[in-house]
């Protein structure tokens, strides 16, 4: 006969103190902290943030409205007392699941002192963001360039372009905003490299092309929406200015004095601006080792395969950002004696098949190079949900418990039912509220 110790507590009491470790103090980190503070009790939340302040994207990028948005996030953190959960200047460098104890062991580097500390959590939430690991283009000889090499996401505080020969690579969302902004300053010459139709036969092998040819070269050959639409105010006008040259020939390599085109021509420049986006592989940038020695950092390098974007099989109690939608934390892991919860591999396989089929009929699969496809032209679409924003919210609103596997701390999964009374019957609570609000049904519980 199975042995069971009846708990003396009421139903739905958070039995154990839940420790949650989260990585990243951007919008996701603040969101998780705020919602945990609002909805949970008997827990500890430790957020590690590698920067010296919160804000993530809006802390690291400085352009147009970013300061305003950063101020807003700082205000939210202060108003809701969220800084108490956040350890700044601390970078998570590794995480590993301990199956016996049902916890994540987390290695953290204190960036002030260089010392390494060990922490742990029943739950690990990854809110590292994806648009913050900028990458340079892979052009042979790039690092031999003797002038200023600038990535748009790491713009130097003082960069005087006055009178310099500047090249801007590409006409992506950042490129089209940078060109009109710096055009009046880079008096000598500004070279805008646009390659969308660069291999089109008949394009002249010359730096300066006529307006008509320029517009022909810039005309996209993919569907509207394949790349993220960007307001490029002043971009086309800037291309027609006398100090701007549009280059459509491919780059062969970079030399200390400038850029060598496939035609053999060398373009002499002082500054090379590369608005070439981010590494968007979605793979964690440190090892995240789950069951059976599987490392998410390796497995997701090629293509991320997540359950409804929030979790992965064999990585129990590990959630990607927006995991706050999951009340698994409060109602199951903490209350019902759940040791580990992870999605079934079969559910992820079927979700992945659905994504692949759905994406075939979208504009995103037309031949544009896009961050939606991790910077490739024809790679799998890794950044987008197969549906609208509201569709995504709606999908996450109800948990499909049948897609998850659970292991328990207790020998009997119903031990949490306790002493036969509910927390709804604690002193001072209205035990017949369903008479007054029948329309609520059981939702008010
Ligand atoms: C140029 C640009 C423009 C954008 N424009 C818009 C827009 O108009 N509208 C919109 O909705 N979104 C926009 N985004 C997307 C934006 O990233 C998200 O809206 C949102 O801010 C993401 O928040 P997050 O917290 O998930 O990630 P992030 O803001 O990227 O924050 C992640 C945090 O995790 C920290 N971190 C990473 N790794 C570690 C580690 N190992 N240890 C500790 N800390 C770590 C980082 O330092 C960072 O602070 C833009 C992004 C960029 C780059």
- State the 10-residue block means of pLDDT for the chain, 445 residues long: 72 84 96 92 95 93 80 97 98 98 98 98 93 85 95 82 89 85 75 49 40 70 85 86 86 95 92 85 91 95 87 95 44 80 96 94 91 86 90 88 93 89 88 80 63
| Cross-strand bridge partners of residue 168 | 192, 273
d(CA 13, CA 28): 27
Pocket flag, ligand 1, residue 56 (CB < 6 Å): yes
Atom of ligand 1 nearest to the CA of 286: 41
Calculate how far, in angstroms, residue 260's C-alpha sits from the geometric centre of ligand 1: 35
Look at the alpha carbons of 238, 243, 245, 251 in this order and tell me if their dihedral is positive or negative: negative
d(CA 171, CA 168): 8
Calculate how far, in angstroms, residue 175's C-alpha sits from the geometric centre of ligand 1: 20
* Domain 18-132+280-408 shares a fold with domain 142-274: yes
Beta pairing class for 258-261 and 251-255: antiparallel
Write down the domain spans for the chain: 18-132+280-408, 142-274
Calculate how far, in angstroms, residue 76's C-alpha sits from the geometric centre of ligand 1: 16
d(CA 323, CA 306): 12
Collapsing DSSP states into helix, strand and coil, what is residue 266? strand
d(CA 191, CA 246): 6
CATH topology of domain 142-274: FAD/NAD(P)-binding domain (3.50.50)
Structural contact between residues 312 and 305, judged by C-beta atoms closer than 8 angstroms = yes
Indicate the top mutation candidate among 23, 24, 54 to test ligand 1's pocket, ranked by most ligand atoms within 8 A of CB: 24
Superfamily holding 18-132+280-408: FAD/NAD(P)-binding domain (3.50.50.60)
Cβ count near 350 (within 10 Å): 12
d(CA 42, CA 16): 7
Calculate how far, in angstroms, residue 334's C-alpha sits from the geometric centre of ligand 1: 29
Atom of ligand 1 nearest to the CA of 278: 53
Look at the alpha carbons of 160, 164, 169, 171 in this order and tell me if their dihedral is positive or negative: positive
Calculate how far, in angstroms, residue 59's C-alpha sits from the geometric centre of ligand 1: 9
Which pLDDT does position 126 carry in this prediction? 95
**What is the DSSP-derived secondary structure letter of residue 322?**
T
Calculate how far, in angstroms, residue 343's C-alpha sits from the geometric centre of ligand 1: 26
Atom of ligand 1 nearest to the CA of 91: 42
Which pLDDT does position 3 carry in this prediction? 64
Which pLDDT does position 324 carry in this prediction? 31
Which pLDDT does position 25 carry in this prediction? 97
Calculate how far, in angstroms, residue 127's C-alpha sits from the geometric centre of ligand 1: 9
Measure Cα distances from 7 to 102, 414, 427 in Å. 21, 10, 19
Collapsing DSSP states into helix, strand and coil, what is residue 312? coil
Pocket flag, ligand 1, residue 173 (CB < 6 Å): no
Closest C-alpha to ligand 1, atom 16: 57
62's tokens: 């400085």
Which pLDDT does position 26 carry in this prediction? 96
Closest C-alpha to ligand 1, atom 1: 61
d(CA 189, CA 166): 6
Burial code (b: 16+ CB inside 10 Å, e: under 16) for 140-163 equals eebeebebbebbbbeeeeeeebee
Which pLDDT does position 34 carry in this prediction? 95
Burial (CB count <10 Å: 0-12, 13-18, 19+), residue 52: exposed
Closest C-alpha to ligand 1, atom 4: 57
Look at the alpha carbons of 405, 409, 414, 416 in this order and tell me if their dihedral is positive or negative: negative
| Cross-strand bridge partners of residue 428 | none
135's tokens: 């990458």
Structural contact between residues 318 and 328, judged by C-beta atoms closer than 8 angstroms = no
Pocket flag, ligand 1, residue 109 (CB < 6 Å): no
Which pLDDT does position 326 carry in this prediction? 37
Which pLDDT does position 158 carry in this prediction? 77
């Amino acid at each position: 006969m199975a042995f069971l110790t009846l708990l003396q507590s009421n139903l739905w009491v958070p039995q154990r103190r839940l420790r949650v470790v989260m990585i990243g103090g951007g919008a996701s980190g603040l969101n998780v902290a705020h919602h945990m503070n609002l909805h949970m009790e008997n827990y500890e939340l430790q957020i590690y943030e590698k920067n010296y302040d919160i804000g993530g994207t809006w802390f690291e990028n400085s352009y147009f409205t970013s300061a305003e948005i950063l101020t807003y996030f700082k205000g939210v953190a202060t108003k809701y007392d969220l800084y108490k959960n956040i350890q700044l200047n601390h970078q998570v460098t590794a995480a590993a699941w301990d199956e016996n104890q049902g916890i994540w062991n987390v290695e953290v580097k204190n960036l002030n002192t260089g010392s390494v500390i060990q922490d742990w959590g029943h739950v690990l939430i990854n809110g590292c963001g994806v648009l913050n690991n900028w990458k340079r283009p892979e052009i042979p000889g790039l690092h031999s360039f003797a002038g200023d090499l600038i990535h748009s996401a790491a713009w130097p505080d003082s960069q005087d372009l006055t009178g310099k020969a500047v090249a801007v690579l590409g006409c992506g969302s950042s490129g089209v905003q940078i060109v009109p902004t710096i055009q009046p300053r880079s008096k000598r010459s500004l070279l805008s490299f646009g390659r969308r139709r660069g291999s089109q036969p008949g394009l002249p092998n010359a730096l300066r092309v006529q307006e008509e040819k320029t517009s022909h070269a810039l005309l996209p050959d993919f569907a509207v929406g394949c790349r993220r639409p960007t307001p490029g105010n002043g971009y086309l006008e800037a291309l027609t200015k006398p100090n701007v040259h549009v280059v459509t020939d491919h780059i062969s390599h970079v030399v200390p004095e400038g850029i060598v085109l496939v035609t053999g021509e060398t373009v002499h420049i002082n500054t090379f601006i590369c608005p070439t986006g981010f590494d968007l592989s979605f793979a964690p940038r440190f090892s995240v080792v789950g069951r059976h020695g599987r490392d998410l950092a390796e497995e997701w390098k090629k293509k991320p395969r997540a359950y409804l974007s929030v979790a992965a099989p064999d990585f129990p109690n590990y959630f990607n950002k927006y995991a706050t939608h999951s009340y698994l934390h409060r109602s199951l892991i903490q209350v019902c004696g759940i040791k580990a919860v992870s999605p079934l591999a079969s559910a992820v396989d079927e979700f992945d098949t659905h994504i692949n089929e759905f994406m075939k009929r979208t504009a995103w699969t037309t031949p544009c190079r896009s961050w939606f496809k991790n910077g490739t032209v024809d790679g799998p679409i890794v950044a987008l949900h197969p549906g609208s924003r509201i569709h995504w919210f709606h999908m996450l609103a109800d948990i499909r418990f049948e897609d998850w596997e659970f292991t328990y701390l207790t020998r009997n999964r119903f031990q949490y039912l306790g002493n036969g009374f509910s927390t709804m019957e604690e002193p001072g609570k209205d035990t017949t509220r369903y008479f007054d609000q029948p329309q609520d049904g059981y939702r008010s519980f």
